[in-house]
């Protein structure tokens, strides 16, 4: 199987590329290294192409002869920036889908986000929940999903859409820092005081990058509808305050003063509380083995280990 992984130098993309190569696929990683990192792909038995998903020519060259595209390239930064998300999430996905159509690619997987749902409350959200995004990030990911849905139907591509919870691990991104690396960086700068975005009571679902990749590969193997949509996340949620306590403890710190920026969400467009109902994956036979707290704990330990 010849596969192309856009965003293959990212945290999830590089883990996916390694797994695909490990099972014998012929893997091409396509990344512009704006947020992906060269050290993530160094040593992987993959072809690495430096290119931008906004460049159709480069995409078409990289996708020649490919059977399956994993489209993970996206803007990872959730902050509002007019136009950027539209280009990097929607126009880019359109280009990748056009490449898939022109190259006769038979399978297409999209890394989307649980942010497509918007405000959800405390009830676990199933895949059938109507999406009402509250951030441009979530909106442009839903737009990308919509294009995948249409192309899958129109051009006989089989497609998988993965609505990812917060995916955590030892790797860090160039942009769009996650809560764990944010807390560690701040506490290394000032071990006496930690600024927490929002009121700390935000509660979200977390999953390790390795379990995320496992879930996606399992779903592509076992779900064979024309369009397959999956929530991918831990089975529960974890508060930001608890993550702060875990980071403090793992760093061996004491008497850290927590200072809150206030507000229900951490930033405009942040979904303050959500738990994913990963029922579609469970019905196929896959369940996350670790709780959100276990995944976050492993990621904290691995990140600190890497920094030593």
- Active-site annotation, residues: 137
**Main-chain dihedrals φ then ψ at residue 168, nearest 5 degrees:** -125, 155
Q: Mask of contacts with its own copies, 98-127, x by CB under 8 A?
A: x-----------------x-x--------x
Identify which of residues 135 and 208 has a Cβ nearer to its own copies in the complex.
135
* 134 sits near its own copies (criterion: CB under 8 A): yes
149 binds its own copies (CB under 8 A): yes
Rule CB under 8 A: is residue 202 a binding residue for its own copies? Answer: no
Q: Which is nearer to its own copies, 6 or 295 (CB)?
A: 6
Phi, psi at 260, each rounded to 5°: -100, 135
* Residue 77 engages its own copies in binding (rule: CB under 8 A): no
- Give whichever of 149 and 294 is closer to its own copies, judged by the CB atom: 149
The angle at the Cα of 74, spanning 73 to 79, to the nearest 5 degrees, equals 160
As measured in angstroms, the least distance from the Cβ of 205 to its own copies is: 19
Per CB under 8 A, does 198 bind its own copies? no
Binding test (CB under 8 A) with its own copies, winner from 5, 13, 27, 94 = 94
The binding track of 151-170 with respect to its own copies, each residue x by CB under 8 A or -, is x-xx----------------
- Minimum separation from the CB atom of position 20 to its own copies (A): 27
179 touching its own copies, by CB under 8 A: no
Among 18, 92, 100, 142, binds its own copies (CB under 8 A): 142
**Least spacing, CB of residue 233 vs its own copies, in Å:** 18
Q: What is the number of residues in the chain?
A: 308
Q: Quick one: 100 or 248, whose CB is closer to its own copies?
A: 100
Residue whose CB is less far from its own copies, 27 or 59: 59
Point out which residues bind its own copies (CB under 8 A): 80, 82-83, 86, 90-91, 94, 98, 116, 118, 127-136, 138-140, 142-143, 146-147, 149-151, 153-154, 227, 229, 268-269
């Amino acid at each position: 199987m010849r596969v192309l992984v856009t965003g293959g130098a990212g945290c999830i993309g590089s883990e996916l590329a390694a797994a695909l190569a490990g099972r014998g696929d012929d893997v091409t990683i396509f990344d512009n290294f704006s947020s992906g990192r060269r050290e993530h792909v160094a040593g992987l038995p993959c072809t690495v192409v430096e290119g931008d998903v906004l460049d159709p020519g480069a995409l078409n060259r990289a996708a020649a002869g490919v059977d399956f595209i994993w489209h993970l390239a996206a803007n990872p930064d959730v902050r509002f920036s007019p136009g950027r998300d539209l280009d990097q999430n929607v126009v880019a996905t359109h280009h990748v889908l056009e490449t898939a159509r022109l190259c006769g690619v038979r399978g297409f997987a999209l890394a989307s986000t649980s942010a497509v749902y918007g405000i959800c409350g405390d009830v676990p959200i199933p895949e059938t929940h109507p999406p009402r995004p509250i951030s441009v990030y979530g909106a442009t990911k839903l737009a990308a999903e919509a294009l995948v849905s249409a192309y899958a139907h129109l051009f006989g591509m089989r497609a998988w859409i993965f609505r990812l919870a917060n995916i955590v691990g030892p790797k860090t991104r160039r942009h769009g820092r996650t809560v764990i690396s944010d807390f560690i960086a701040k506490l290394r700068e000032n071990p006496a005081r930690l600024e927490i975005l929002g009121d700390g009571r935000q509660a979200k679902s977390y999953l390790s990058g390795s379990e995320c990749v496992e879930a996606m590969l399992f779903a592509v193997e076992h779900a064979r509808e024309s369009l397959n949509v999956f929530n991918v996340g831990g089975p529960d949620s974890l508060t930001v305050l608890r993550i702060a306590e875990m980071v403090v403890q793992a760093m061996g710190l004491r008497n850290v003063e927590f200072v809150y920026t206030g507000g229900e969400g951490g930033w405009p467009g942040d979904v303050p509380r959500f738990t994913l109902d990963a029922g579609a994956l469970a019905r196929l036979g896959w369940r996350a083995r670790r709780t959100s707290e276990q995944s976050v704990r492993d990621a904290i330990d691995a990140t600190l280990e890497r920094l030593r």
